[in-house]
Structure 1
């Protein structure tokens, strides 16, 4: 069995950050993530945790729009608008562009008061086959 094996399908980083997908369809993917356990030294939600949430949601959305072809992230940008100290944040991913070779998704992250805390954009490449095939 390859190095990835059956465990490769487990969402390990998402699990470590406590990300839970709560709603999904090809036009919208929603997930939550706790602030607790995902803070930086100043007690605020870590920007990298926002980026992981955005990449996860954007990737799910792109995969659903790709017609069954595999997708991988090409570029991620995040703008952090406000700090969050506690509770849950919610990310909502919606497709902006669906092409033959790329899918671009906007991800809006809000706090429990529905204030925007981060805006991200992820562009994924749509592949013809799974990456990391035999011999890699």
Structure 2
């Protein structure tokens, strides 16, 4: 039985409970065959000292959405996903509203995955460009 889009989004967001994603209020909002989108509010909880979005919070959003994208396309009964490298280029500052991270696969191999993650603001301005490499590793058999 294939889950509906709403069921997949609800399952992804339920997995965020008691994690960094919940702390940062990251919410998975959309996905398709080759992408996943999450959003995060921009407020004082994610500011750097001068009142703009912290690059580390942006990187956490990017790694979260990229890892989730890899996760939903593997057999989670047999494998788990870990991020192995992330890069982020921050292009514009944000002080309010939401930022949206869209992870798109550049490579979706059996073992490694490479994702392009574009972070935009409410006006669809490009805020950051990130790249994430993930690895799918076998779960130990009990």
C-alpha deviation, 1:113, in angstroms = 1.1
**Segments of 4+ moved more than 6 angstroms:** none
> Do structure 1's residue 111 and structure 2's residue 121 form an aligned pair?
yes
Q: TM-score, normalised by structure 2?
A: 0.81
Equivalent residue, structure 2, for 1:4:
none
User: Residues 99 and 18 (structure 1 numbering): CA distance in 2 closer, same or farther, change over 3 Å?
Assistant: same
> Do structure 1's residue 93 and structure 2's residue 100 form an aligned pair?
no
Unpaired stretches in structure 1, ≥5 consecutive residues: 1-7
Unpaired stretches in structure 2, ≥5 consecutive residues: 1-14
Deviations 1:98-127 (CA, angstroms, capped at 9, x unpaired): 112101111100011101000111101110
Count of residues paired in the alignment? 125
CA RMSD of aligned residues (A): 2.0
Equivalent-residue separation in structure 1 for 2:65 and 2:33 (angstroms):
12
Equivalent-residue separation in structure 1 for 2:124 and 2:58 (angstroms):
16
Equivalent residue, structure 2, for 1:34:
41
Q: TM-score, normalised by structure 1?
A: 0.84
Aligned with residue 127 of structure 1, among 124, 132, 137: 137
Question: Does the aligned pair in 1 maintain the 2:117–2:129 contact within 8 Å?
Answer: yes
